Amino acid sequence: MSHDLESLKHQAALQAVALIQSGMHVGLGTGSTAKYAIDELGRKVAAGELTRITCVATSEVSHAQALALGLNVGPLTTQPFDIAIDGADEIDPQLDLIKGLGGALVREKLVEVQAKRLVIIADYSKQVSQLGEKAPLPVEVLRFGAHSTVKRLEDMGAKGQLRRSGDELYVTDNGNYIYDAHFAADLSSLERQLKGMLGVVETGLFLQMADIAFVAAPEGVRELHR
């Protein structure tokens, strides 16, 4: 990825953080683009440009980054978020998303379902005409009986594998595995079936959740609305 695109991803993050106002409760995303947003929020709070900001992070990594920047980070409660800012692995024309290649899909969804506004920041390579075009669909599965759960997924038409980290199976912040699935079917129609499957914790389908996307493209940052 070119240096120019990295600077545009940074610009997209700045535009998203510009929507945050003092006194807001903010959901902090996970991943390389969300990292820019957390950095900028930390800068604004340290400079006194924003005050009374409370945050909840969607991963251990983002939580540690926010704490190191002096942000007020707490646990997830029932309090709604004024705004949540996060990246995405795929964005379709309706702003439906695949997320979870970074492994934080369950916490991301738990936070972002409570957001009054979910703002997505990404580069143009994440735009697709249909979900599943480029990225696999991450499905978080319980470790106990994982191979049985995978067989159920494969019986449903999934092709994929349990995610690895080096020689070991990848383990999420929640102590689970991730199965990266490819389906021939329309993914949005599978969400309910997948969620109802024994052993499945959550999927990386984020449907009808995003409100705005700032997309970094070679010609600049585009603002998309659902």
User: Which residues are catalytically annotated?
Assistant: 108
Q: Say if residue 11 is exposed, middle or buried (CB neighbours under 10 Å; 0-12, 13-18, 19+).
A: middle
- Signed CA dihedral, 132, 135, 140, 143: sign only: positive
Beta-strand pair 83-86/177-182: unpaired
Cβ contacts of 177 within 8 Å, gap of 6 or more: 140, 141, 142, 143, 146, 162, 163, 169, 170, 171
Rounded Cα–Cα distance for residues 19 and 86 (Å) = 13
Write out the two tokens for 16.
């998203």
Which of 97, 100, 138 is closest to 119 using CA atoms?
A: 97
**Alpha-carbon distance values, 35 to 86, 136, 162 (Å):** 9, 23, 26
